[in-house]
Amino acid sequence: MPYSANRPIFFFRVLLIWLLGLSAVQGEELSSPAEQERLLRLSQAAIGRTLPDLTLLNQHNEAVSLTQLRGKPMLIHLVYTSCYHTCSVSTRSLATTVAKAKEIFAADAFHVLTIGFDTPNDTPKAMESYSRQQKVNDPRWLFLSGDAAAVASLMETIGFAAFPSPRGFDHLAQVTVVDRDGKIYRQAYGETIPTPQLVEPLKELILGLPAKEESAVDLLVRRVRLFCTTYDPRDDTYRYDYSLFVGMFIGGLCILSVVIFLLREIRRNKTFAKR
């Protein structure tokens, strides 16, 4: 990158990378800010791509097709099971966020996939052990593994790169948000991703889901609940905030009172006019 004309842009991007959490890279530090910027570009360029039709194995050694998971949004999180720092921290942080999201949405409103990219070692048994180590008890959370070709294809599609290092692998701590059609919708970065960075895109995607086997009333209730969720940064939680509807109700009562008062005045004026 030219240093003179684009220097402000260059330093802004480097700062952006740091803010997005690329300091959470596992293993040795990546070689240079330019390399970090390249990995960020690689990751962001994946937005809009569609996941390939791959079949992986879950932690119970059962085949799982990515295509069969379409119909609901999903979160994809790549790790390697011999990692004892960044991957573990990011998985436990993600588990906290997923639990908060499921308090807002239905428990089965979205999929969560943690996939091992160290294919010689990240076997179904290793992924099952990893899930226990991270204390993830959600039966809907899939811990997947696959052969080298399948995992490499997935990594390329979602813009995830990993490089061997003395401590294991260098890689971005990244969670990919995928829409119900298997298209990459958003990327989030860091060991501990702020809750809104994952819940807000899920909220957008789930609001756009077509009604399936639910009545118009159920759909209305679900949408009202989603619109009423607000983020409280004080304790990093989402709460239901019905103040908008309370205000509308009070406003409606005020308007109704004014209408009744006016009708009474009109009726009284008519009575006096007849006299």
Contact predicate 172/22, CB 8 Å: yes
How sure is the predictor about 26, in pLDDT bands with cuts at 50, 70 and 90? very low
Q: What radius of gyration do the chain's Cα atoms show?
A: 25
Q: Measure the CA–CA gap between 190 and 173, rounded to whole angstroms.
A: 5
Kindly report the pTM of this predicted structure: 0.69
Identify which has the larger pLDDT, 235 or 15. 235
Question: What digits encode the pLDDT tens for the residues 185-238?
Answer: 999 998 888 888 999 999 999 977 444 444 555 445 444 544 455 545 565 554
For 155-232, strand residue ranges (E) read 162-165, 168-171, 174-178, 184-189, 229-232
Burial bucket for residue 198 (CB in 10 Å: 0-12, 13-18, 19+):
buried
CATH, domain 7-192, list 3.30.565.10, 1.20.1300.10, 3.40.30.10, 3.30.2090.10: 3.40.30.10
